[in-house]
Amino acid sequence: MSGMSQPHTNRSPVTRPARPDASMSLLTHVMDHSLDEGYAEASARREAEGTSGLPRTLKAKLALAGGLVLAAMVVTLGAAQARVAAPVLAKERQELIDRVDRANAHADGLERDIERLRTEVADRQQAALKQVGGDQGRLVALLSGATDVRGPGVKLVVDDAKGSASGGGGGPRETKGFSDTGRLRDRDMQKIVNGLWQSGAEAVSINGQRLTALSAIRAAGDAILVDNRPLVPPYEVLAVGDGKRLGTRFQDSAGGQYLHVLQESYGIRSTLTPVDDLRLQAASSLAVRTATAEQPKKGAS
């Protein structure tokens, strides 16, 4: 048995299993060394010396307490001053509101006085015209806007384009350097009103403002002014006259054709309706003037 050779066995080296966190060495290092070594060393040295950041001496503690007390006093004084000043500010605010209310009431009273005086002046003007001219005076008062008017006519409602979108193409409103916005302009209203006069209207008003021979239709920005009074769209134009014939004549007139172009080119909206009974108030302010015809000189050709 001793001569027999021992069988040779191959033994493979034993390998240990890898750590689960072997691929996370950086994360493992951070977890194992959460504090920087220099910071940890400095912290340990301060703890050993008794200077960890908090005041250790009595003087330092008193200084900290004094600072806290001073801050508390400043906050308390600020709150107290705010409470004291609050009633004063509220009182001043209420006084200002009362002054505004009194001024508004005074202005309203002046407006009422102005309207009353205007009515009184109009009544006296009308009476004077009747006494001096009789039927002719009443006709002059009617045509001049000094008296109320009632009768058949037409109601023309004109409004800006829907959404005030800009119209396309050229047209009667095209002006050099002017961008149209789909709004009715003062010159548009002038041409429309002139068309009504030319068609036989005896009296015209715009949004309740009676027009006379002295009336002015102007603009301030996008607003239309009649005798310096701003109007708000839609614009209601009332014209007293022969209702059916007046409406037909206006549509065929230059003013009616101009309004048609505004509708087609710029989206201006309008409706024309005959009305059997209209009532137009007298003009609010009217200066009565008299004139006499000058006799021609002898020998003048």
What residue spans define the domains of the chain? 61-147, 149-280
Q: Is the peptide bond before 152 cis (omega within 30 degrees of 0)?
A: no
Q: Per the CATH hierarchy, to which homologous superfamily does domain 149-280 belong? A: Protein of unknown function DUF881 (3.30.70.1880)
Tens of pLDDT, residue by residue, the chain (301 residues): 444 445 444 555 555 555 555 555 656 666 665 556 666 677 677 666 655 555 557 777 778 888 888 888 888 888 777 777 777 777 788 889 989 999 999 999 998 998 888 778 777 776 776 666 666 666 666 666 767 788 999 999 999 988 764 434 444 454 443 346 688 999 999 999 999 999 999 899 999 888 888 888 998 887 899 988 888 899 999 999 987 899 999 999 999 999 999 999 889 999 999 999 999 887 766 555 665 655 655 554 4
CA distance 250 to 195: 6
Q: What torsion, rounded to 10 degrees, do the Cα atoms 227, 230, 235, 236 define?
A: -50
Distance set, CA 40 to CA 28, 30, 47, 301 (Å): 18, 14, 11, 125
C-beta of residue 239 within 8 angstroms of C-beta of residue 246 = yes
